[in-house]
Protein backbone atom coordinates (compact mmCIF):
# COMPACT_ATOMS: atom_id res chain seq x y z
CA UNK A 1 0.00 0.00 0.00
CA UNK A 2 2.73 2.48 0.93
CA UNK A 3 4.12 3.83 -2.35
CA UNK A 4 7.49 4.67 -0.80
CA UNK A 5 8.27 1.10 0.20
CA UNK A 6 11.11 -0.27 -1.89
CA UNK A 7 11.90 3.05 -3.57
CA UNK A 8 14.56 5.66 -2.92
CA UNK A 9 13.39 8.91 -1.31
CA UNK A 10 15.56 11.97 -1.99
CA UNK A 11 15.20 14.54 0.81
CA UNK A 12 15.59 18.30 0.92
CA UNK A 13 16.85 20.23 3.93
CA UNK A 14 13.37 21.72 4.51
CA UNK A 15 10.87 18.92 4.97
CA UNK A 16 7.12 19.16 4.64
CA UNK A 17 4.31 17.78 6.76
CA UNK A 18 1.34 15.60 5.95
CA UNK A 19 -2.28 16.67 6.39
CA UNK A 20 -5.61 15.27 7.50
CA UNK A 21 -8.93 16.94 8.33
CA UNK A 22 -9.63 18.32 11.79
CA UNK A 23 -12.92 16.48 12.37
CA UNK A 24 -15.24 14.04 10.57
CA UNK A 25 -17.48 15.25 7.76
CA UNK A 26 -20.59 13.41 6.53
CA UNK A 27 -22.06 13.19 3.04
CA UNK A 28 -25.34 11.57 2.01
CA UNK A 29 -26.81 10.97 -1.42
CA UNK A 30 -27.39 8.31 -4.05
CA UNK A 31 -25.00 6.28 -6.14
CA UNK A 32 -24.92 7.40 -9.77
CA UNK A 33 -25.18 3.89 -11.20
CA UNK A 34 -26.91 1.95 -8.42
CA UNK A 35 -29.42 4.64 -7.46
CA UNK A 36 -29.12 3.40 -3.84
CA UNK A 37 -28.99 5.76 -0.87
CA UNK A 38 -25.55 5.92 0.69
CA UNK A 39 -23.97 7.57 3.73
CA UNK A 40 -20.28 8.37 3.78
CA UNK A 41 -18.12 9.86 6.56
CA UNK A 42 -14.57 11.11 6.02
CA UNK A 43 -12.58 10.74 9.26
CA UNK A 44 -9.20 12.17 10.26
CA UNK A 45 -6.29 9.72 10.17
CA UNK A 46 -2.71 9.63 11.39
CA UNK A 47 0.43 10.33 9.37
CA UNK A 48 1.42 7.56 6.93
CA UNK A 49 -2.12 6.15 7.00
CA UNK A 50 -2.93 7.17 3.45
CA UNK A 51 -6.51 7.04 2.12
CA UNK A 52 -8.64 3.99 2.89
CA UNK A 53 -12.31 3.13 2.44
CA UNK A 54 -14.14 1.06 5.05
CA UNK A 55 -17.37 -0.61 3.98
CA UNK A 56 -19.42 -0.45 7.19
CA UNK A 57 -22.15 -2.63 5.67
CA UNK A 58 -19.59 -5.38 5.08
CA UNK A 59 -18.00 -4.95 8.53
CA UNK A 60 -21.32 -5.89 10.12
CA UNK A 61 -22.51 -8.69 7.83
CA UNK A 62 -20.57 -11.58 9.49
CA UNK A 63 -19.29 -12.76 6.12
CA UNK A 64 -15.68 -12.64 7.23
CA UNK A 65 -14.79 -10.42 4.27
CA UNK A 66 -12.29 -7.62 4.79
CA UNK A 67 -14.18 -4.28 4.83
CA UNK A 68 -11.01 -2.21 4.24
CA UNK A 69 -10.39 -1.13 0.64
CA UNK A 70 -7.22 0.81 -0.27
CA UNK A 71 -7.42 3.93 -2.42
CA UNK A 72 -4.59 2.69 -4.58
CA UNK A 73 -3.81 2.40 -8.29
CA UNK A 74 -2.98 -1.27 -7.74
CA UNK A 75 -6.49 -1.97 -6.37
CA UNK A 76 -8.32 -0.54 -9.41
CA UNK A 77 -10.43 -3.09 -11.28
CA UNK A 78 -11.65 -2.76 -14.88
CA UNK A 79 -14.63 -0.46 -15.34
CA UNK A 80 -15.56 1.67 -18.35
CA UNK A 81 -17.77 4.23 -16.65
CA UNK A 82 -16.04 5.04 -13.35
CA UNK A 83 -13.10 4.14 -11.13
CA UNK A 84 -13.55 1.09 -8.90
CA UNK A 85 -11.16 -0.07 -6.17
CA UNK A 86 -11.40 -3.60 -4.78
CA UNK A 87 -9.58 -5.57 -2.08
CA UNK A 88 -8.47 -9.20 -2.04
CA UNK A 89 -11.82 -10.26 -0.51
CA UNK A 90 -13.71 -8.89 -3.51
CA UNK A 91 -15.10 -5.94 -1.52
CA UNK A 92 -15.21 -2.84 -3.71
CA UNK A 93 -16.07 0.85 -3.76
CA UNK A 94 -16.98 2.50 -7.06
CA UNK A 95 -17.07 6.04 -8.43
CA UNK A 96 -14.22 7.10 -6.12
CA UNK A 97 -12.77 9.70 -8.51
CA UNK A 98 -14.71 12.76 -7.30
CA UNK A 99 -13.92 12.34 -3.59
CA UNK A 100 -10.30 11.46 -4.45
CA UNK A 101 -10.01 14.64 -6.53
CA UNK A 102 -11.45 16.66 -3.64
CA UNK A 103 -8.98 15.18 -1.15
CA UNK A 104 -6.04 15.82 -3.48
CA UNK A 105 -7.28 19.30 -4.36
CA UNK A 106 -7.57 20.20 -0.66
CA UNK A 107 -4.18 18.72 0.24
CA UNK A 108 -5.58 15.91 2.42
CA UNK A 109 -3.09 13.02 2.48
CA UNK A 110 -4.55 10.82 5.22
CA UNK A 111 -8.19 9.88 5.82
CA UNK A 112 -10.46 6.96 6.63
CA UNK A 113 -13.64 7.03 4.54
CA UNK A 114 -16.48 4.99 6.02
CA UNK A 115 -19.25 4.17 3.57
CA UNK A 116 -22.34 1.99 4.00
CA UNK A 117 -22.61 0.80 0.40
CA UNK A 118 -20.57 -0.04 -2.70
CA UNK A 119 -20.73 3.36 -4.41
CA UNK A 120 -19.68 6.89 -3.44
CA UNK A 121 -22.64 9.33 -3.56
CA UNK A 122 -22.74 11.40 -6.74
CA UNK A 123 -24.16 14.53 -5.00
CA UNK A 124 -24.26 17.26 -7.70
CA UNK A 125 -21.97 15.37 -10.11
CA UNK A 126 -18.87 17.42 -9.28
CA UNK A 127 -16.34 17.59 -6.44
CA UNK A 128 -17.61 20.90 -5.08
CA UNK A 129 -19.81 19.49 -2.25
CA UNK A 130 -16.91 17.31 -1.09
CA UNK A 131 -14.48 20.24 -1.25
CA UNK A 132 -16.88 22.49 0.66
CA UNK A 133 -17.28 19.89 3.41
CA UNK A 134 -13.54 19.30 3.74
CA UNK A 135 -12.72 23.02 3.81
CA UNK A 136 -15.41 23.63 6.43
CA UNK A 137 -13.77 21.08 8.74
CA UNK A 138 -10.29 22.49 8.21
CA UNK A 139 -6.87 20.92 7.75
CA UNK A 140 -4.75 19.53 10.57
CA UNK A 141 -1.02 19.15 10.07
CA UNK A 142 0.64 15.90 11.05
CA UNK A 143 4.20 15.09 11.97
CA UNK A 144 5.59 13.13 9.04
CA UNK A 145 7.48 13.94 5.88
CA UNK A 146 5.34 14.34 2.78
CA UNK A 147 6.69 12.49 -0.22
CA UNK A 148 6.01 13.43 -3.83
CA UNK A 149 6.41 11.44 -7.02
CA UNK A 150 8.73 13.33 -9.34
CA UNK A 151 8.41 12.33 -13.00
CA UNK A 152 11.88 11.90 -14.52
CA UNK A 153 11.06 10.49 -17.96
CA UNK A 154 8.06 10.50 -20.27
CA UNK A 155 5.66 7.59 -19.85
CA UNK A 156 2.82 7.17 -22.36
CA UNK A 157 0.04 4.69 -23.01
CA UNK A 158 -2.40 4.53 -25.93
CA UNK A 159 -5.64 2.81 -26.83
CA UNK A 160 -6.81 3.56 -30.35
CA UNK A 161 -6.93 7.35 -30.67
CA UNK A 162 -6.84 7.89 -26.89
CA UNK A 163 -3.58 8.92 -25.22
CA UNK A 164 -2.48 9.40 -21.60
CA UNK A 165 1.02 10.66 -20.85
CA UNK A 166 3.17 11.90 -17.97
CA UNK A 167 6.12 14.24 -18.63
CA UNK A 168 8.58 15.90 -16.24
CA UNK A 169 7.41 19.23 -14.75
CA UNK A 170 8.03 21.23 -11.56
CA UNK A 171 4.39 20.95 -10.42
CA UNK A 172 1.29 19.01 -11.34
CA UNK A 173 -0.13 20.24 -14.64
CA UNK A 174 -3.02 18.77 -16.60
CA UNK A 175 -3.48 19.24 -20.35
CA UNK A 176 -6.68 17.64 -21.63
CA UNK A 177 -8.35 17.42 -25.03
CA UNK A 178 -11.75 15.94 -25.86
CA UNK A 179 -13.68 15.52 -29.10
CA UNK A 180 -17.38 14.61 -29.13
CA UNK A 181 -19.86 14.52 -32.01
CA UNK A 182 -22.50 16.39 -30.02
CA UNK A 183 -22.16 20.09 -30.82
CA UNK A 184 -22.98 20.99 -27.20
CA UNK A 185 -19.55 19.56 -26.32
CA UNK A 186 -17.55 19.32 -29.56
CA UNK A 187 -13.79 19.82 -29.36
CA UNK A 188 -12.42 21.30 -26.15
CA UNK A 189 -8.94 21.74 -24.71
CA UNK A 190 -7.71 23.16 -21.43
CA UNK A 191 -4.28 23.26 -19.80
CA UNK A 192 -3.84 24.21 -16.16
CA UNK A 193 -1.24 24.19 -13.41
CA UNK A 194 -2.97 22.87 -10.32
CA UNK A 195 -0.75 24.78 -7.88
CA UNK A 196 -2.14 27.06 -5.17
CA UNK A 197 -5.81 26.13 -5.17
CA UNK A 198 -6.37 26.12 -8.94
CA UNK A 199 -8.32 22.85 -8.70
CA UNK A 200 -10.78 24.32 -6.22
CA UNK A 201 -11.23 27.54 -8.21
CA UNK A 202 -11.21 26.20 -11.77
CA UNK A 203 -12.31 22.55 -11.77
CA UNK A 204 -14.08 21.48 -8.59
CA UNK A 205 -17.60 22.56 -9.64
CA UNK A 206 -17.55 20.94 -13.11
CA UNK A 207 -20.05 18.09 -13.36
CA UNK A 208 -19.97 14.71 -14.99
CA UNK A 209 -21.54 14.73 -18.44
CA UNK A 210 -23.07 12.32 -20.91
CA UNK A 211 -25.16 12.09 -24.05
CA UNK A 212 -28.90 11.41 -23.76
CA UNK A 213 -28.47 8.36 -26.00
CA UNK A 214 -25.84 6.98 -23.60
CA UNK A 215 -28.15 7.59 -20.64
CA UNK A 216 -30.90 5.60 -22.34
CA UNK A 217 -28.49 2.76 -23.13
CA UNK A 218 -27.07 2.67 -19.59
CA UNK A 219 -30.49 2.60 -17.98
CA UNK A 220 -31.53 -0.22 -20.29
CA UNK A 221 -28.49 -2.10 -18.92
CA UNK A 222 -29.36 -1.33 -15.29
CA UNK A 223 -26.84 1.51 -14.91
CA UNK A 224 -27.10 5.25 -14.22
CA UNK A 225 -30.15 4.55 -12.05
CA UNK A 226 -29.24 7.47 -9.78
CA UNK A 227 -28.52 9.88 -12.59
CA UNK A 228 -30.71 12.96 -13.04
CA UNK A 229 -30.51 16.27 -14.85
CA UNK A 230 -29.51 17.76 -11.49
CA UNK A 231 -26.37 15.66 -10.96
CA UNK A 232 -25.05 15.41 -14.50
CA UNK A 233 -24.80 17.54 -17.62
CA UNK A 234 -26.88 15.71 -20.24
CA UNK A 235 -26.58 16.79 -23.87
CA UNK A 236 -28.41 15.86 -27.04
CA UNK A 237 -26.82 17.20 -30.20
CA UNK A 238 -26.45 20.95 -29.73
CA UNK A 239 -28.82 21.07 -26.75
CA UNK A 240 -27.94 21.02 -23.04
CA UNK A 241 -30.88 19.31 -21.34
CA UNK A 242 -29.85 19.93 -17.72
CA UNK A 243 -31.68 22.85 -16.05
CA UNK A 244 -29.57 25.99 -15.86
CA UNK A 245 -27.27 24.90 -18.66
CA UNK A 246 -23.50 24.81 -18.25
CA UNK A 247 -21.49 26.18 -15.34
CA UNK A 248 -18.61 26.86 -17.77
CA UNK A 249 -18.63 26.90 -21.57
CA UNK A 250 -15.91 24.22 -21.37
CA UNK A 251 -17.38 22.37 -18.39
CA UNK A 252 -16.94 18.99 -20.09
CA UNK A 253 -13.16 19.19 -20.46
CA UNK A 254 -12.86 20.69 -16.97
CA UNK A 255 -14.67 17.66 -15.59
CA UNK A 256 -12.35 15.33 -17.46
CA UNK A 257 -9.46 17.13 -15.75
CA UNK A 258 -11.21 16.69 -12.39
CA UNK A 259 -11.55 12.97 -13.08
CA UNK A 260 -7.88 12.77 -14.07
CA UNK A 261 -6.78 14.36 -10.79
CA UNK A 262 -8.91 11.89 -8.84
CA UNK A 263 -7.47 8.94 -10.74
CA UNK A 264 -3.90 10.25 -10.39
CA UNK A 265 -4.45 10.66 -6.63
CA UNK A 266 -4.56 6.86 -6.45
CA UNK A 267 -0.78 6.96 -7.00
CA UNK A 268 -0.50 7.31 -3.22
CA UNK A 269 1.47 10.56 -3.23
CA UNK A 270 1.24 13.92 -5.02
CA UNK A 271 2.67 13.86 -8.54
CA UNK A 272 5.13 16.45 -9.82
CA UNK A 273 4.69 16.17 -13.57
CA UNK A 274 2.55 17.11 -16.55
CA UNK A 275 -0.39 14.82 -17.34
CA UNK A 276 -1.66 14.94 -20.92
CA UNK A 277 -4.96 13.30 -21.77
CA UNK A 278 -6.34 13.04 -25.28
CA UNK A 279 -9.77 11.37 -25.22
CA UNK A 280 -8.49 9.52 -22.14
CA UNK A 281 -10.74 7.95 -19.54
CA UNK A 282 -10.46 6.31 -16.13
CA UNK A 283 -9.10 3.01 -17.39
CA UNK A 284 -6.39 4.61 -19.51
CA UNK A 285 -5.19 6.83 -16.65
CA UNK A 286 -4.90 3.77 -14.43
CA UNK A 287 -3.02 1.98 -17.21
CA UNK A 288 -0.66 4.97 -17.24
CA UNK A 289 0.01 4.67 -13.50
CA UNK A 290 0.70 0.96 -13.89
CA UNK A 291 3.13 1.74 -16.70
CA UNK A 292 4.81 4.41 -14.56
CA UNK A 293 5.35 2.17 -11.55
CA UNK A 294 6.71 -0.60 -13.78
CA UNK A 295 9.55 1.74 -14.76
CA UNK A 296 11.70 2.70 -11.73
CA UNK A 297 13.87 4.86 -14.03
CA UNK A 298 10.91 7.10 -14.92
CA UNK A 299 10.21 8.49 -11.43
CA UNK A 300 11.53 8.93 -7.94
CA UNK A 301 10.03 9.66 -4.54
CA UNK A 302 11.27 12.94 -3.09
CA UNK A 303 10.61 14.80 0.12
CA UNK A 304 8.26 17.60 -0.89
CA UNK A 305 9.98 20.28 1.15
CA UNK A 306 8.67 23.83 1.46
CA UNK A 307 9.24 24.80 -2.17
CA UNK A 308 7.58 21.74 -3.66
CA UNK A 309 4.77 21.79 -1.09
CA UNK A 310 3.76 25.27 -2.19
CA UNK A 311 3.27 23.98 -5.75
CA UNK A 312 0.85 21.23 -4.76
CA UNK A 313 -2.89 21.39 -5.56
CA UNK A 314 -3.97 21.88 -1.94
CA UNK A 315 -1.45 24.56 -0.97
CA UNK A 316 -3.13 27.62 0.50
CA UNK A 317 -6.71 26.56 -0.31
CA UNK A 318 -9.37 28.77 1.30
CA UNK A 319 -13.15 28.69 1.41
CA UNK A 320 -13.19 31.81 -0.77
CA UNK A 321 -11.60 29.75 -3.58
CA UNK A 322 -14.84 27.80 -4.04
CA UNK A 323 -16.79 28.94 -7.12
CA UNK A 324 -20.02 30.75 -6.35
CA UNK A 325 -22.87 29.17 -8.29
CA UNK A 326 -25.89 31.11 -9.45
Question: Residue 115: how many CB atoms within 10 A of its CB?
Answer: 25
Closest CA to 188 of 199, 198, 176: 176
Write out pLDDT tens, residues 53-82: 999 999 988 889 999 999 999 999 988 789
Task: Report the sign of the C-alpha dihedral through residues 119, 121, 124, 130, in that order.
Answer: negative
**What backbone torsions phi and psi does residue 287 show, to the nearest 5 degrees?**
-60, -35
Into which CATH architecture does domain 15-319 fall? 2-Layer Sandwich (3.30)
Backbone torsion region of residue 244, taken as left when φ is above 0, otherwise alpha when ψ lies between -120 and 50, otherwise beta = left
Q: What's the confidence (pLDDT) of residue 322?
A: 84
Q: What's the confidence (pLDDT) of residue 33?
A: 80
Would the pLDDT of 12 be above 60?
A: no
pTM of the prediction? 0.92
Active site residue 282: yes
- 208-233 burial: b if 16+ Cβ within 10 Å, else e: bbbbeeebeebeeeebbebbbeebbb
Would the pLDDT of 238 be above 90?
A: yes
Marked catalytic residue, from 33, 98, 109, 282? 282
- Percentage of residues in the chain with pLDDT exceeding 70? 94
Is the distance from CB of 212 to CB of 241 less than 8 angstroms? yes
Q: What's the confidence (pLDDT) of residue 213?
A: 84
314 vs 252, more confident: 252
| Least confident window among 2-11, 146-155, 166-175, 269-278 | 2-11
Average pLDDT over residues 182-193: 96
Q: What is the mean pLDDT of the chain?
A: 91
Average pLDDT over residues 245-269: 97
Amino acid sequence: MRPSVGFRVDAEVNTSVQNTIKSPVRFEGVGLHSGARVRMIVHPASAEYGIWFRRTDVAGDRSGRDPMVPASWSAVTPSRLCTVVENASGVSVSTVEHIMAALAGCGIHNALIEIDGPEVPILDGSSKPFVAGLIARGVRRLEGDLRCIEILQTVEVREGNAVARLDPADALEIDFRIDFEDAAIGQQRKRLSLANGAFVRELSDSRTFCRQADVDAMRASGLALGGTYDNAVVVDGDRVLSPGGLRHTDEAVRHKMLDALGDLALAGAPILGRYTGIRAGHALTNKLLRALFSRPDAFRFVDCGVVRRNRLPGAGVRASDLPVLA
